[in-house]
């Protein structure tokens, strides 16, 4: 009976930890999410600053400390997540489980292997962890409406992209045959010319590839103006969808599956839609 | 009677081939269209990569093989189309008939004439063949709505372009008289200055032509801001038309005329709207 | 009586000429307008090409011929307009009267004064004459709707421009104090920095002025993103106005005042709203 | 009684001055606001021109005169504001009180301290004083509607910015690992690459950082096209909000609190919402 009591105690502790790190309903859970967001943000910022030569030379020891601090924090968080999951393996093999692991592993590897700064790119993947937190915030009104608008205009935007691409391929090929033979040209190949066409049509206009012949100037002008009318289309599409968008209240909960940690269950869901386990704790 | 049987057999075969390569109602027809789209895409990609010097040097034999593979496939397709058309000549002289021929001819010509790589541009015309397949897909919801929006705002967009052009001509001329006499200027002529004006108004801004005088900076600033308000117009036009757009179900079929191969007939059409032949097979 | 007849004859001729060159109701009047539009377009094109050095060297005699051809045509037109106006002086002193005169005068002046190619800029003013013809076409549906949309959103667009300008002034000054002291900077003065800010906010981005310091990069990023949200406003304004726009049928006539040649009278107007003369002939 | 009369007289004068410089209901008050706007505009223009080297060398004495003229005018205005406030200290410590002081102080300081041209940046803060006048004009129809639209779409635009930033961080990091090792690259660090990503996605495209590798070109193209669809969102958001916007008549007065000078009181307000003093003069 005493053991039963203790088990219950442990269970309750596990459950409480679970509620804090996997869900966002309780004040502690919300606080944890905010702290986690900050930590992710700061650790990514540190990874970025590491690539700035002058900064790295000046604050190399501080960067090292910050890196290890976050690595240890994330490792602890990962172990906690493993521990309080009912089926740790299922969590470990889930998408976010892998991302969580990847966000602390590279630092340990650099300990044993010198000159593996290339792992830095993996550490930026930490940013993906933000989505876990943000997914819970997906009933934030603004994001939901925007998402709906984008999803609903998906088909039209795809069609549009295909059209733009064909337009760019044809315009780029024409430009290549106009400009390709001029001395000192930047239109060295058709793909390069298509890059020019896309950069022009979308009004980016870097200026690294520019025309030299009179005919090229004329065709570019036509291309820009034609493209400009076409490019007005996605704005129109998104606006139309956004206006149609009723903000039909989302009925998703922030509860996560106790086994695999999947989010986004409907309010009346009893079983996890991903692993099929019961969603309630025992 | 046996011959009649055989004729019927042949006819049926011809008809079945026709359904596969000219129409998209049957599963085989749809598959053919998808394969054709992929082939066109890949052959155009090959033409593009051929112009990339480093790629060509490395994979010149592979490119040659790919080129001949697609040429033979397209030739076979062209002959099949000719064979199963009720009136082959009419097909051969139709727009897509000429495009189909042009997409395989250049490779044969390079066989006899050395140094005719200029024919490559003709091979990119293969891209036009995509429109034949896409035309059948024009009852795809997204494309239809966008098309309708663009077509309905045609008049307004034309007016808009004329206005932009006049604005650019006047602004460009003014810029020419401000910047034209400065040493080392890029405003070497009025057309060049109009090019600058259009590149600025549409917010492309390559930066190959830039102002040098204080007055030029001032006028450019005014021009950009004025242009910015005007350029908001096409977006507004397209959005307005897209919102008005009811997706009135299109009642076009994917059937093609057995004589000339024209698409886009209404569901109740009995005769081809282009050549006047009966649409049904005998 | 015979004289009365003749006067009437002459009057009728004058009236007929009037109808052709000042109005657009009759077939002849429409034809005249179209020919005039083409002539203006071609003469402006000639003026442009004259500034292209290589073109001028090659076709200098042709350009001279074209120039004199159009000058004589425009002179004849001007005299005809003077002759068939009931009060020639009033026409000559009207806005379009002056523009008409200016479009042929410069060529004559270059006859007596050598090295006056500077007059070329005056000849581009011929473009303004297009507005006379286009004004008559202002009941063209598209132009009218766009015009209405722009006019109605005038107040809001003005407010918007003022806001953008203040934003650019503050952002530009901040950028000047960040980048102004760096060696080899392009931020040589506050106006230059404001030019940079406007070019950035409107997404033109020539690239002639670019940041060099890390702080400058950071501030530019913030500026671009903030500006991007603000710049969405004019599109929204114009779209809103365009959607509200009812194409209330315009009841303006294409008749012109026989005295001063002013256009745009209402259908029931009896007297010219500009000079007060009767609108009907006799 | 005579003294009482005099006190009343003074009070009335104070009150009249108050009405002129703090409010915009009376003709004199409106005139004062317009003159003030012009003075602020001109003084800021002078500060700008001071930084243009060639202009400063030529007109240094004129600039000095203008600077002192405006400084003395603004000082006089500041003292008047202090004098006619019922509680001068409260005005002096209010936001606009501090801005008013800062707009004339720097010039006096340069009198005693040589080589303090750095104070110039403070003088541009005069621009902030424009907001005081413009705040009174906030019932201008256009500004109000735009403001409402922006405020209402605040939440959505924030979400959007966060999304763009995350997209730019990931795209920038990817670009850094593609382009960072190429010789002579401009992608020297991750922040630099993020700057490139933001400049590309927002279609600014300076061209100071450009890709060199084929893979880089490919990724940039994808990034621009993806970004283009996403960037259509803020326009859609603002348009949607602007269309929903009813121009519900604002019932704010232009009266200012006699104690602290705060604006924006409701028509039926009796006490200042900022300092709690009665709004009416005794």
A100-111 pLDDT per residue, tens: 888 888 888 777
What was the pLDDT predicted at C253? 56
Q: What does the pLDDT read at residue B198?
A: 92
C205 interfacial to chain B (CB closer than 8 Å): yes
A58 vs C25, higher pLDDT: A58
Q: Find the helix or strand (DSSP H, E) in which D263 lies.
A: none
What are the tens digits of pLDDT across the range A190-207?
Answer: 889 999 999 999 889 998
Query: Which residue intervals of chain A bear CATH 1.10.287.70?
Result: 138-253
> Is residue D108 predicted with pLDDT exceeding 90?
no
For B84-93, B197-206, C72-81, which range has the lowest pLDDT when averaged over its residues? B84-93
User: What is the overall mean pLDDT for chain D?
Assistant: 77
Tokens at residue C125, please? Answer: 């003013």
Q: Is D116 touching C (CB cutoff 8 A)?
A: no
pLDDT at residue B125, as a whole number: 75
What is the per-residue pLDDT for A182? 86
Dist CA A230 CA A224 (whole Å): 10
Above 50 in pLDDT, residue C1? Answer: no
Residue D117: pLDDT band by 50, 70, 90 thresholds? low
Q: How far is B87 from chain A (nearest CA, A)?
A: 32
Nearest-Cα residue of chain C relative to residue D190:
C214
pLDDT confidence band for A265 (50 / 70 / 90):
low
Q: Which residues are within 8 A (CB) of C233 and not within 5 positions of it... i.e. 6 or more apart? A: C160, D146, D149, D150, D238, D242
Q: Pick from C172, B44, A157, B261: which is nearest to D225 by CA?
A: A157
Is C243 an 8 Å CB contact of chain D? Answer: yes
At A134 the pLDDT is 67
A47 touches chain D (CB under 8 A): yes
Q: Does B142 touch chain A (CB under 8 A)?
A: yes
All residues of chain D having their beta carbon less than 8 Å from the beta carbon of residue C217 are: 191-192, 195
Q: Average pLDDT over chain C, rounded to whole?
A: 77
pLDDT for the residue C249: 37
The residue to which tokens 């992710």 are assigned: A40
| Residue D261 φ/ψ region, left for φ over 0, alpha for ψ in the -120 to 50 degree band, beta for the rest | left
pLDDT for B223 beyond 70? yes
Inspect the interface and report whether the beta carbons of B52 and D214 lie closer than 8 Å: yes
Distance, in angstroms, between D271 CA and closest chain A CA?
36
Q: Which of C192, C195, C204 sits opposite B205 (nearest CB)?
A: C204
Q: Which of C156, C169, C205 sits opposite D44 (nearest CB)?
A: C169
Mean pLDDT of chain B: 77
Specify the higher pLDDT residue, A129 or A91. Answer: A91
DSSP D213: S
Which residue of B44, B53, B146 is in closest CB contact with A160?
B146
DSSP string over chain A:
-HHHHHHHHHHHHHHHHHHHHH--SSHHHHHHHHHHHHHHHHHHHHHHHHTSHHHHHHSHHHHHHHHHHHHHHHHHHHHHHHHHSSSHHHHHTSHHHHHHHHTTHHHHHHHHSTT-GGGHHHHTTHHHHHHHHHHHGGGSHHHHHHHHHHHHTHHHHHHHHHHHHHHHHHHHHHHHHHHTTSTT-S--SHHHHHHHHHHHHTT---SSS---SHHHHHHHHHHHHHHHHHHHHHHHHHHHHHHH---PPP-B-S---TTT-----BTT--B-TTT--BSS--
Residue A53: closest CA among chain C residues belongs to which residue?
C214
pLDDT for the residue numbered A198: 92
Write out the DSSP string of chain B.
Answer: -HHHHHHHHHHHHHHHHHHHHH--SSHHHHHHHHHHHHHHHHHHHHHHHHTSHHHHHHHHHHHHHHHHHHHHHHHHHHHHHHHHSSSHHHHHHSHHHHHHHHTTHHHHHHHHSTT-GGGHHHHHTHHHHHHHHHHHGGGSHHHHHHHHHHHHTHHHHHHHHHHHHHHHHHHHHHHHHHHTTSTT-S--SHHHHHHHHHHHHTT---SSS---SHHHHHHHHHHHHHHHHHHHHHHHHHHHHHHH-------B-----TTT-----BTT--B-TTT--BSS--
Above 80 in pLDDT, residue A273?
no
pLDDT at C247: 39
- Between A186 and B273, name the one with better pLDDT: A186
Q: Does domain D138-253 have CATH number 3.40.640.10?
A: no
**B42 or D21: which leads in pLDDT:** B42
**Is A214 close to C239, i.e. CB distance below 8 A?**
no
What's the pLDDT at C115?
A: 55
Total-model pTM: 0.79
Mutate to test the interface with A, among C207, C224, C229, C236 (most CBs of A within 10 A): C207
Cα angle: D173, vertex D174, D179; to 5 degrees = 100
B196's CB contacts (< 8 A; 6+ apart) are B172, B175, B186, B187, B209
**B181-185 contacts at long range (C-beta below 8 A, 24 or more positions apart):** B182/B212, B182/B213, B184/B212, B185/B212
- Say if CB D176 and CB D187 are below 8 A apart: yes
CA-CA distances (angstroms) from residue C105 to A166, A180, C68, C71, C184?
Answer: 49, 44, 11, 8, 48
Whether D254 and D136 have beta carbons less than 8 Å apart is answered as: yes
Q: In whole numbers, what is the pLDDT of chain A averaged over residues?
A: 77
pLDDT, greater one: A267 or B72 = B72
**Averaged pLDDT, D26-42:** 86
**Cβ contacts of B203 on chain D, cutoff 8 Å:** 203
Contact A238 D233 (CB under 8 A): yes
Residue of chain D whose Cα is closest to the Cα of C160: D143
Q: In chain A, where does the domain assigned CATH 1.20.120.350 lie? A: 2-134
Per-residue confidence (pLDDT) for residue C280, from 0 to 100? 64
Using pLDDT thresholds of 50, 70 and 90, give the confidence band for residue C26. Answer: confident
Contacts of D239 in chain B (CB under 8 A): 239
Can you tell me which residue has the tokens 């103006």?
A225
Place A170 in a pLDDT band, splitting at 50, 70 and 90: confident
Percentage of chain D lying above the pLDDT 70 cut:
72
Interface residue of C160, C193, C223, C225 to substitute, partner D, most D CBs within 10 Å:
C225
Of A113-117, D84-88, D127-131, where does the model show the most confidence?
Answer: D84-88
The residue among D170, D196, D216, D229 with the most chain A CBs within 10 A of its CB, best to mutate, is: D229
Give the tens place of pLDDT for each residue, B10-59. 667 888 888 888 877 788 888 888 888 899 889 888 888 888 888 888 88
Helix (H, G, I), strand (E, B) or coil at C12: helix
Determine the average pLDDT of the residues in B234-238: 75
Question: In terms of CA atoms, which chain C residue is nearest residue A240?
Answer: C239
Q: Is the pLDDT of residue C8 over 60?
A: no
Select from A203, A207, A239 the Cβ nearest to the Cβ of C203: A203
Q: Is the pLDDT of residue B139 over 60?
A: no
Mean pLDDT, to the nearest integer, of C132-153? 65
Interface ipTM: 0.76
- Residue A266 φ/ψ, nearest 5 degrees: -70, 160
Q: What is the predicted pLDDT for the residue at D195?
A: 93
Answer yes or no: do D207 and B206 touch at CB < 8 A. Answer: yes
Residue B189 contacts C, CB cutoff 8 Å: yes
pLDDT in tens, C196-246: 999 999 889 998 899 988 899 999 998 998 877 677 777 777 777 777 654
The helix/strand/coil state of C280 is coil
**Binary contact (D206, C207; C-beta < 8 A):** yes
CA B117-B119-B121 angle, to 5 degrees, is 110
What is the reported pLDDT for D200? 92
Question: Which segment, A195-204, C19-28, C178-187, C229-238, is predicted with the most confidence on average?
Answer: A195-204
Q: Tell me if residue D162 falls in helix, strand or coil.
A: helix
Check if B191 contacts D (Cβ < 8 Å). no
Taking only the tens place, the pLDDT of each residue in A41-87 is 898 888 888 888 888 888 888 888 998 899 899 999 999 988 888 88
| Percent of chain B predicted with pLDDT > 90 | 9
pLDDT of D230 above 80: no
Q: How many CB pairs (< 8 A) connect A and C?
A: 9
Closest chain C C-alpha to D37 CA, distance in angstroms: 13
Point out which residues pair with B187 in neighbouring strands: none
C59 in reach of chain D (CB within 8 A): no
Secondary structure class of D225 (helix, strand, coil): helix
User: What is the pLDDT confidence band of residue B247, given thresholds at 50, 70 and 90?
Assistant: very low
Answer for the pair D14, D84: CB distance below 8 angstroms, yes or no. yes
Q: Identify the CATH homologous superfamily for domain C2-134.
A: Voltage-gated potassium channels. Chain C (1.20.120.350)
């Amino acid at each position: 009976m005493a053991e039963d009591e203790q088990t219950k105690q442990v269970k309750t502790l596990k459950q409480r930890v679970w509620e804090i790190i996997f869900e966002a309903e309780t004040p502690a859970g919300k606080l944890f999410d905010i702290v986690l967001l900050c930590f992710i943000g700061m650790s990514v910022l540190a990874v970025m600053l590491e690539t700035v030569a002058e900064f790295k030379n000046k604050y190399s020891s501080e960067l090292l400390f910050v890196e290890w601090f976050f690595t240890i924090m994330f490792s602890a968080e990962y172990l906690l997540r493993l521990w309080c999951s009912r089926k740790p393996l299922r969590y470990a093999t889930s998408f976010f489980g892998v991302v969580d692991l990847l966000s602390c592993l590279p630092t340990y590897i650099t300990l044993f292997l010198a000159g593996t700064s290339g792992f830095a790119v993996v550490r930026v993947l930490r940013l993906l962890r933000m989505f876990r937190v943000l997914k819970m915030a997906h009933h934030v009104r603004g994001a939901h409406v925007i998402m709906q608008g984008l999803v609903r205009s998906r088909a039209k935007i795809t069609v549009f992209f295909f059209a733009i691409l064909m337009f760019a391929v044809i315009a780029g090929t024409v430009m290549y045959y106009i400009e390709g033979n001029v001395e000192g040209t930047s239109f060295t190949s058709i793909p390069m010319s298509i890059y020019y066409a896309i950069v022009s049509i979308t009004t980016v206009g870097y200026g690294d590839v520019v025309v030299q012949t009179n005919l090229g100037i004329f065709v570019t002008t036509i291309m820009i103006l034609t493209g400009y009318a076409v490019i007005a289309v996605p704005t129109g599409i998104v606006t139309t969808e956004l206006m149609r968008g009723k903000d039909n209240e989302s009925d998703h909960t922030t509860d996560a599956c106790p086994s695999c940690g999947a989010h986004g269950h409907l309010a009346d869901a009893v079983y996890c839609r991903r692993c099929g386990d019961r969603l309630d704790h025992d």
